[in-house]
Amino acid sequence: MRAYRAKRDSKPRVADKYNILGFISSGTYGRVYKAQSRDTEGKIHAIKKFKPDKEGDVITYTGISQSAIREIALNREISHENVVALKEVILEDKSIYMVFDYAEHDFLQLIHHHSQTLRTSISLPVLKSLTFQLLNGLLYLHACHIIHRDLKPANILITANGVVKIGDLGLARLTYSPLQALYTGDKVVVTIWYRAPELLLGAKHYNKAIDIWAVGCVVAELASLRPIFKGEEAKLDSKKNVPFQKDQMLKIFEISGTPDEREWPRLKDMPEYQNMRRLDTYPNRLRDWCTNKMKSQLGYEFLKETFIYDPDKRLTAEAALKHGWFHEDPTPTANAFHTLQPPQCPPARRITHDDAPSMMPQPTQAQATQNVAQATQVHALSMSHSMSAKSMSGAGSVGTGAGTGGAAGNAAAGGRVRKKARAG
């Protein structure tokens, strides 16, 4: 035991190898941080720290989570330009750290940038390039017999060079001769808005087609800047039984129509078939939905083929990459941002220090004093701008609007700096 501890303590710790720059985001299984390598290259990485498992209300070490085991095992075996690359795994103080290549953006951030900041749709060249690269990465995973099972905008990354990287394989499963049914151990997979109909209807056995349905949902969201099937999720009951997702099914039917048993012969064998039959019937309105969003007949046909109800007839990743939509001008490019001017490019991913107490180094007394002084200076500057705005308010409504907006922005910036100073 003494020899083991000596060997364990001799290994470099996370802080020895990486300088933690800030907190990026958190999810069900862990927290993600931005970090810079301390070697001569100084490369930027994303470090995922898995949360410890819980026993009751007390956080206790109970072993490595199933999600962590899957993600580590699968990422160690794969390598593709459109799948995020795992650099190393570090075990420290009973916590697991996975070090990945860093990506500056993700699909969700891009959607928010266009819907809230630019207030304009994503251009067709960008849309097609992102979709093509996403399918290219998915084809690789499927060729490796891996189903992702959680494709959504937040899990699809984009580098500053416009390269798509599929991330977060925590729910992924190998489908080649699995020892148990995919349903076993994971009764619920895929975030509700991107969940395929066969999953919503309680299928115990399913295939790679669930990822293609999710791709269709993601592409539709990129095109319209909002989820195409935005239903309310019914939660598991006290006995962990999976309820029928009535609202989500209705959201799908309202656009894609009610499924026909002649087109989907196995529909009547689905566990939730009787619940589905009680729902109102709807015609297929997908063409109308696509009119001003997919911008071409081939774009509509591509989306229609990703939303085929029968999973055995749904588009495959390989067939999708050969679809005529990608051969129609404009064609996809290796850099999805190639056609964008700087104002149109999404800003770098925002990081914070307030949400990263477990990874951020504590500041020295001198640094804390300097932070407070900087915060005071910014606050004084914001007050100066506020006084200037008030003096301009008599110049007319246009001047008032501009002045007030500028003062509010500076005050908010001052508040953010003060908040960081307090956290330090």
Residue pLDDT, tens place only, 164-177:
999 999 899 888 76
Which residues lie across from 26 on neighbouring strands? Answer: 31
Q: What is the pLDDT of residue 350?
A: 83
Whether residue 401 is predicted with pLDDT greater than 90 in this model: the reply is: no
Please report the pLDDT score of residue 29 as a whole number. Answer: 73
Do residues 90 and 227 both lie within one domain? no
Residues 211, 337, single domain; the answer is: yes
Domain assignment present for residue 49? The answer is yes
The residue from 101, 126, 158 where one domain ends is 101
Lowest mean pLDDT among 134-138, 250-254, 359-363, 407-411: 407-411
Kindly state whether residues 180 and 225 are assigned to the same domain: yes
Domain final residue, candidates 63, 81, 101: 101
Say whether pLDDT at 418 is over 80: no
Domain harbouring 246, CATH code: 1.10.510.10
Considering the domain architecture, whether residues 117 and 259 belong to the same structural domain is answered as yes
Using the 3D structure, point to which of 48, 67, 101 is the last residue of a domain: 101
> Per the domain annotation, does 352 fall within a domain?
no
Query: What confidence category does residue 4 fall into, taking pLDDT thresholds of 50, 70 and 90?
Result: low
Q: Is the pLDDT of residue 392 over 60?
A: no
The percent of residues in the chain predicted with pLDDT above 70, rounded, is: 75
Q: Does residue 134 sit in the same domain as residue 96? A: no
Structure tokens at 90: 């570090």
Claim to verify: residue 225 and residue 188 sit in the same structural domain: yes
**Average pLDDT value for the chain:** 83
Instruction: Tell me which of 150, 237, 269, 288 is the catalytic residue.
Output: 150
Q: Give domain status of residue 196, yes or no.
A: yes
Residue 403 vs residue 154, higher pLDDT: 154
Overall domain count for the chain: 3
Q: Is the pLDDT of residue 386 over 90?
A: no
Residues 292 and 206 reside in one and the same domain: yes
Verify that 109 and 62 share a domain, yes or no: no
Parallel, antiparallel or unpaired: strands 95-101 and 86-92: antiparallel
Relative to beta strand 156-158, strand 164-166 is antiparallel
Residues in the chain: 424
Lowest-pLDDT range of 141-150, 244-253, 306-315, 407-416? 407-416
pLDDT at 12: 75
Amino acid at 298: L
Q: Say if residue 413's pLDDT is above 50.
A: no
pLDDT at 378: 44
Q: Which domain holds residue 203?
A: 105-344
The answer on pLDDT for 147 being more than 70 is yes
Model pLDDT for residues 304-326, shown as the tens digit of each residue = 999 999 999 999 999 999 999 99
pLDDT of residue 93: 77
Among 80, 285, 235, 44, smallest CA distance to 167 is for 80
Say what the pLDDT of residue 395 is: 41
Does 381 score more than 50 pLDDT? no
150 is catalytic: yes
Looking up tokens 């504590």 gives 362
Is 424 a residue whose pLDDT tops 50? no
Q: For the chain, how many helices (H) and strands (E)?
A: 14, 12
CA 224/CA 22 separation, integer angstroms: 32
Q: What is the pLDDT of residue 52?
A: 65
Mean pLDDT value across residues 12-21: 90
Domain CATH code at residue 20 = 3.30.200.20
pLDDT at 109 over 80: yes
The verdict on residue 418 lying in a domain is: yes
Residues 158 and 228 grouped into a single domain: yes
pLDDT in tens, 342-367: 778 888 888 887 655 556 555 545 55
DSSP code string of 238-284: TT-PPPP-HHHHHHHHHHH-PPPTTT-GGGGGSTTHHHHHTSPP---
For residue 227, tell me if it sits in a domain.
Answer: yes
pLDDT band at 391 (very low <50, low <70, confident <90, very high): very low
| Whole-number pLDDT of residue 59 | 58
Domain presence at residue 245: yes
- Specify the pTM: 0.80
**Both 224 and 316 in a single domain?**
yes
Q: How confident is the model at residue 54 (pLDDT cuts 50, 70, 90)?
A: low
User: Residue 179: what pLDDT?
Assistant: 53
Asked if residue 302 and residue 153 are part of one domain, the reply reads yes
Flag whether 403 is in a domain.
Answer: yes
pLDDT tens per residue, range 89-103: 998 877 899 999 999
Q: Which residue has the higher pLDDT, 150 or 95?
A: 150
Query: Mind listing the pLDDT tens digit for each residue in 222-263?
Result: 999 999 999 999 988 777 788 999 999 999 999 999 999 999
Q: What is the rounded distance in angstroms from the CA atom of residue 374 to the CA atom of residue 418?
A: 9
> Is 396 within the bounds of a domain?
yes
Residue with tokens 């251009």: 123
The predicted structure's pLDDT at residue 67: 81
What are the φ and ψ backbone dihedral angles of 40, each rounded to 5 degrees? Answer: -65, -25
Q: Is 127 helix (H, G, I), strand (E, B) or coil?
A: helix
Say if residue 120 is in the same domain as residue 84. no
